[in-house]
Amino acid sequence: MRRVFFSQGCRHNCKGCFNPDTHSFDGGEEKDMDELIKDVLGNPMIKGVTFSGGDPFERPEEFAYMGEVFKKHGLNIWSYTGYTYEFIVSHFNEKPEWRRLINTLDVLVDGQFEEDKKEEGLLFRGSSNQRIIDVKESLKRNQVVIWK
């Protein structure tokens, strides 16, 4: 079983997004992160978490914090983002919190949703331009490695 956390705020505003209510940075409701973490860790059926949105990379400190705690407890962590892996990695110097967040991830589904590339039957992604990336292997090899 997985738990999904939705970030509030997204700059991509992809046409046809499945969750447009999360685009505004002023929407949503504040939650105590430690309480959310406690809820997940208190449920032995949860084996992983997914960060979705909005875009978790718009709130990297918060998601990195959660990711670090979950990783210490052995949970599998996936994240979705409208940014590409290459864009994220190329901005590590200006945005060190992106490095901190990505280092907690097992899998990253990257790229904006493109309505004209939407296909039925795609696993774990909305459009064919999005990639399912093995983050640990990609960081180790310094190139994108597709998750299998």
What secondary structure does DSSP assign to 57-106, as a single string? GGSHHHHHHHHHHHHHTT-EEEEE-SS-HHHHHHTTTT-HHHHHHHTT-S
Q: How far apart are CA 59 and CA 22, in angstroms?
A: 12
**pLDDT tens profile 107-116:** 999 999 999 9
Q: How many other CB atoms are there within 10 angstroms of residue 105's CB atom?
A: 24
| Range(s) of the domain holding residue 88 | 2-141
The shares of helix, strand and coil residues in the chain, as percent rounded to the nearest 5, are 35, 20, 50
What does the pLDDT read at residue 16? 79
Let me know if residue 94 belongs to a domain: yes
The answer to the question of residue 41 being in a domain is yes
Spatial separation of the C-alpha atoms in residues 118 and 98, rounded to whole Å: 28
Residue 14 sits in a domain whose CATH number is 3.20.20.70
* pLDDT at residue 130, as a whole number: 98
Supply the pLDDT for residue 3: 97
Instruction: Tell me the pLDDT of the chain averaged across its residues.
Output: 94
pLDDT digits (tens, 9 = 90+) for 6-34: 998 888 888 877 777 777 778 778 889 99
Total number of domains constituting the chain: 1
